[in-house]
Amino acid sequence: MSTIRYAQEPALSADEFIAVLQASGLAERRPVADRPRIERMLAHATLIVTARDESGRLVGVSRALTDHAYCCYLSDLAVDRACQGQGIGRRLIAETRRLAGPETMCLLLSAPDAMPFYRAIGMPQPDNAFMFKRER
């Protein structure tokens, strides 16, 4: 297993973000063809945590919105398929929670095929959530 470096990276580039979304399979659920929208997603995120291999290649990312006092919405968690199963996703969540602060709760909406992962790492699943879906 290679050495992975985790860091808060607020200036992550759209190109790298799109590449890891594609490598993870999450791109099919994100507007990767709409670069201005991806750039807005990155610019307005309040917490971006990255995972990079020894060569500096981005292999995972967590993108979140948080007030660092009460709530944290983890909106994107993507790990390159070639690197999955190494604990990178679990560590990205842990780093996101640590950086958001101990007073925050962390919420995410899972893609159906990712639900077994969240259950396996022991992430609680609430039954009291509601959602308005995006219009586009």
Please name the residue that has the structure tokens 């925050």. 104
pLDDT at 51: 98
* pLDDT for the residue 1: 52
Q: Is 7 left (phi over 0), alpha (psi -120 to 50) or beta?
A: beta
Task: Specify the pLDDT at position 105.
Answer: 96
Non-local CB neighbours of 23 within 8 Å, separated by 6+ positions: 59, 78, 80, 81, 82
Best CA proximity match to 131, nearest among 81, 73, 86: 73
Kindly list the structural domains of the chain, giving each domain's residue range(s) and its CATH number in brackets, ordered by start: 5-119 (3.40.630.30)
pTM over 0.85: yes
- Residue among 84, 98, 65 nearest 1 (CA): 84
Q: Print pLDDT tens along the chain (136 aa).
A: 579 999 999 999 999 999 999 999 999 999 999 999 999 999 999 999 999 999 999 999 999 999 999 999 999 999 999 999 999 999 999 999 999 999 999 999 988 888 999 999 999 999 888 888 888 7
In sequence order, what are the residues at sequence separation of 6 or more whose Cβ sits closer than 8 angstroms to the Cβ of residue 14?
35, 38, 39, 42
- Cβ(8)–Cβ(48) below 8 Å: yes
Q: Is 106 helix (H, G, I), strand (E, B) or coil?
A: strand
